[in-house]
Structure 1
């Protein structure tokens, strides 16, 4: 006998959670049944794949290699099912979507309401991750498609969604907050910029803006979210650099929040819907991209129009 797809699914779940109990919950099976299936898989392969600890489960070196290959096989199996079920003229079935955490909360609520109304047979499963993790998980099959920056992904197809300009947010008593209108990049000279940690494309863009303007990035603090760096900026720790969807949405919610657009072509990022070049879901993903693009355009136009009043 050979390992089954279900057994591979169990093993991947253990790799992702590090615990038999959590993996069993994730795959909707009892823990004893999962343990028995993994033991059977090990017997079939003639190798120990999982080291059982008191509270944790650790992959052996051969187990890690089996997991790597199992992810590819499971991805191909999902693609095979998608070929059979796909209706190129409609959005149906399950689509696993990865999204940048700097975008998801500001774009997806409006999109999902529209999609569920227009396409009741669509099931959109969403997970936020760093840019670097979106690339890895797109190609190992965890995601069918991702909302990200195209330059960070290889061997993919895509649809452009929208461009985000970058804005600054400073403490209320900061000279940069005493003015309105766009801010030239040169006005950031000598200032401290706040950004997210390693693995985010936004971090790299802000690093390049700092080099171009003579500013520097705070090396002692890396935010875990846009909310975090905005709050640190409001406490005079530095200048937060924020993308459009976040900056304009938060400025609409908080009339006292001062944000100013950086007037420089380098202070922007292109956002796309991205999928593997071999994906059988391409036709449906282009339909999804159209819905995302329309909603993003509406949001950006609405909040920027209110900002100008």
Structure 2
């Protein structure tokens, strides 16, 4: 009995330390990378938006477990020379509130960001989404066809795949798993682990030396962000299976950008299929580029957005 009491006391002390470290690390992450834009209220939920530049409206939607800092690293400043650029934190990530505890669907996220864009006076923006954000952009185009001028998916997830979801997401998407695992990750996993995943995502292209400092890996390690991202990833395949049969309904000018060496979201499964599903869509394949064209091929991505703007009569 005494041994059991000692074990329980040790476990209790360990868990108290874990929660203290998690709180400390979250506070440090938010202090080093605070919200730099506007905090909008949309249907009772906070949406974080950064706005820069003047001209036709362009909305940028980041990928999995990202935040506005991804799109503001290179792409948004390049576009701001000729456009008014609006960069959102997707629901549950960065400084935007989650919509629900189950992981907002790509259509729910698209609706939330559309309403936020309208609050900022962008009734028909060019909608640009990278990776998971590409799926949200596609959902925007399908669900709200009159609320955008053009569509630009960048390495976007668009069509069903047959690989298994990683065990990490299965575990952290589960309420019990998240309650146990997420605090341990927040408390004890160093930011360098996130930076190592960046290297893999950029491959075969080198990750820019100052990208991680700009991005703020600690924001992705917060417990709520881990939970929201896991639920979104867990649900994504089924949502895309439901959405893909409706791509033929998209009628706005569509410029698709994808790297030939993308091993995260494969060119053949996704964009080479997508270009045949959307009427008059155009695919730009970037030779030797991986999953992050918005950082390693900025001129080519800007050119695609310029073409979309011209086709939409905005330039």
Q: Same fold judged by TM-score > 0.5? A: no
**Greater fraction strand:** 1
TM-score when normalising by structure 1: 0.30
- From the CA coordinates, give the structure whose radius of gyration is larger: 1
